[in-house]
Amino acid sequence: MKILIKKGGTGDIALIEDLARRSWPVSYGDILSEKQIVFMLEDIYSSAALARAMNQGQVFYILFSDGLAVGFMALITVQGVLRIEKLYLLPQVQGQGLGKRLIDYAESVCQNYGLAALELNVNRRNKAYSFYLKQGFRVLYEVDIPYHGFVLDDYVMRKDLH
């Protein structure tokens, strides 16, 4: 399996949107209502929303396995830490070590920026929570974020690198 992680740009928006639309329903189907999934895909992963995220400083990375795009993540520096704003893999490649490859890549970006920690939010019922624990993240606190009539019930997690 040949792995490549490539920085994404505006020319990759359609690809990132497609990856999100293929991964989100599986990631959140047992956690969120269909109405919330549809709303959030449009609000966060439409072409316009992705372009806005890029313009606001989120840097996207696309993961290719044997030449096929199978996942992505978005990073942004906030208050001296590197936040993983988005990290998704297609369901058929989960469990193959690719998520760890993205976390390792985020760690190298963090260190290159001279930052001491990675942070992220994860839904408290998302199976990715246990993955992040295995990658060395710890829970800082729980947060309930009102979001357009929905509630995002997350853990805020952190991994210190120094």
For residue range 113-159, list pLDDT tens digits in order.
999 999 999 999 999 999 999 999 999 999 999 999 999 999 999 99
Contact 156, 145 (CB under 8 A): no
Residue-level pLDDT at 61: 99
In this prediction the pTM is: 0.96
Cα 26 to Cα 28: distance, rounded to the nearest angstrom: 6
Q: How many domains in the chain?
A: 1
CA distance 9 to 11: 5
Q: What is the pLDDT of residue 38?
A: 95
Q: Which of 48, 54, 60, 65 lies closest to 16, judged by CA?
A: 60
pLDDT along the chain (162 residues), means of 10: 97 98 94 95 97 98 98 97 98 96 98 97 96 98 95 97 85
* Strand (E) or helix (H) holding 12: none
Burial class (CB in 10 A: 0-12, 13-18, 19+), 73: buried
Q: CATH number of the domain that 78 lies in?
A: 3.40.630.30
Structure tokens belonging to residue 66: 């044997």
Q: Which two tokens stand for residue 45?
A: 């992963």
Residue 124's domain comprises 3-160
Quick check: 89 and 23 in contact, CB under 8 A?
A: yes
